[in-house]
Amino acid sequence: MCFAALWWGGDGIETSFDLRFEYEDPASLLAGQTTVGGPRLRWNTQSVVAGFGMEHGARVELQVTDLQVAGANDATEVPVVFTLYDNDQWRAYAVLKLREVHIRSNFVLCHYPAAMRFTIPPPDSLAELPWTLSFDVRKASQFTLQAQVCGDASVNVSGRVSMVNFGYDGALSEHLGVQELGLRPLYKVLFVVYLAAMVLWILDCNIWRRNVPKICYVFQAALQAKALSVALKLAFYSERSSHGQANTPLDIAQDVGESATSAALLGVSVLGSLGWSITRARLSRRETLSLLLLAVIYLVVSFNKALCRPTDAPQCRGFVLSEYALQSMMMLGVIVALNFTIAQLKLAASYERWNCFVTPLTYMKLEQFQYAQCCRHFLYLVPLATVG
């Protein structure tokens, strides 16, 4: 059985590892191959870094600080191999890693083609701990770093690993993966956009216009929440970019901010589709109680999802699925309520007597709601067109 104590922050890599390998004899390995119940991993291989995107010229720095071997006459007889696989190599290797695949030798994995391989103890008998390696990546890809025991013994190995990409300054200073390198400038642009929109909206609601529906102030609060959420994401990725480690408070804060923003925007959509403060001054008692109950349930689920760690745990996935189901239900309610409000406005414009004060306002509100409906259809069709 394998035990591993591995701490690392998302895909930003500068982390320590403490891996324990417990030897399994060939008889138990053969028995494991014939059992039914899903794939089981071989005892002699573990992931140090599950996945990290690196570009050409990036660097992997590995330092082994301790090695303990039990059940062998000499530690040099049981080498530990650190292997770096690119995306294509890892796909083929992952098949061999499963016990269900019959392999003549359990240690063929230690010699499988890879981008980089570092064996400890090193061949130089005079080398002392810590053992270090620096490797420059020659091919842009998604890389996986594995540790493998190539002998019949139980092993404990610990150390540190750092994977560094090129930053915008042209130096090896970036700890974000290739797939995340554009997030910092993207969030900077989004923060400026939302900040400008928030300022313009505040000026429009409080200075430029005299009579403003109450929903405008609710949307103003939603814009502020969105700007704060983007700022938290920018701070989170900036911290990971600089130090390679995920700041736990920032990680939780940006997840909470995203959940709060989603709740605020959904609330604005629901209230707007019901015509609150636009076509009617207040909601009915039943509508108010229903929305409050739904808001409480959604906030509880979304905040539990934001605080749940690790994010790939079954409980966390359950929260994600529940939040998605609630969002889908609320969006369906928005569609129904918006269509109902438009139908009411059409009925009022068609059958009510002309009033020089009321009728033009009714047509104006009808046009606004129809415009909102067209925008909603456009937002729904854009992802479909992108996929197609």
What Cα–Cα distance (Å) separates residue 9 from each residue in 181, 235, 250, 260, 279? 16, 15, 12, 23, 49
- Residue 26: pLDDT band by 50, 70, 90 thresholds? low
- Residue 87: pLDDT band by 50, 70, 90 thresholds? confident
- Residue 360: pLDDT band by 50, 70, 90 thresholds? confident
**C-beta of residue 43 within 8 angstroms of C-beta of residue 151:** no
Percentage of the chain beyond pLDDT 70 is 78
Residue 91: per-residue pLDDT: 81
The sign of the CA dihedral 256, 260, 266, 269 is negative
What Cα–Cα distance (Å) separates residue 42 from each residue in 24, 35, 118, 147, 209? 9, 14, 20, 12, 69
CATH of domain 14-29+39-174: 2.60.120
Residue 326: per-residue pLDDT: 92
User: Bigger pLDDT: 349 or 284?
Assistant: 284
Q: Is the pLDDT of residue 7 over 60?
A: no
- Where is average pLDDT lowest: 61-65, 236-240, 293-297, 313-317? 236-240
- Planar angle of CA 131, 137, 140, nearest 5 degrees: 145
Q: Is the pLDDT of residue 270 over 70?
A: yes
Average pLDDT of the residues in 40-46: 70
Q: Is the pLDDT of residue 370 over 70?
A: yes
Percentage of the chain beyond pLDDT 90 is 17
Residue 97: per-residue pLDDT: 58
Average pLDDT of the residues in 241-248: 72
Mean pLDDT of the chain: 79
DSSP secondary structure string, 334-351?
A: HHHHHHHHHHHHHHHHHH
Dig out the tokens for 128 from the structure. 């002392």
- Residue 387: pLDDT band by 50, 70, 90 thresholds? very low
- Residue 95: pLDDT band by 50, 70, 90 thresholds? low
Q: Is the pLDDT of residue 365 over 80?
A: yes
DSSP secondary structure string, 46-66?
A: EEEEEEEEE-TT-EEEEEEEE
- Where is average pLDDT lowest: 63-77, 103-117, 163-177, 295-309? 163-177
Q: Is the pLDDT of residue 329 over 60?
A: yes
Residue 61 pairs in a beta bridge with: 134, 162
pLDDT tens digits, 124-178: 767 788 888 888 888 888 888 989 888 778 889 999 988 887 765 555 556 666 6
Residue 167: per-residue pLDDT: 65
Question: Strand, helix or coil at 10?
Answer: coil
Q: Please state, in angstroms and rounded to a whole number, the distance separating the CA atoms of residues 281 and 214.
A: 9
Residue 289: per-residue pLDDT: 94
Kind of pairing between the strands at 12-21 and 80-85: unpaired
Average pLDDT of the residues in 219-243: 87
- Residue 313: pLDDT band by 50, 70, 90 thresholds? confident
Determine the residue type at 179. Answer: Q
- Residue 109: pLDDT band by 50, 70, 90 thresholds? low
Residue 298: per-residue pLDDT: 92
Residue 195: per-residue pLDDT: 92
- Residue 388: pLDDT band by 50, 70, 90 thresholds? very low
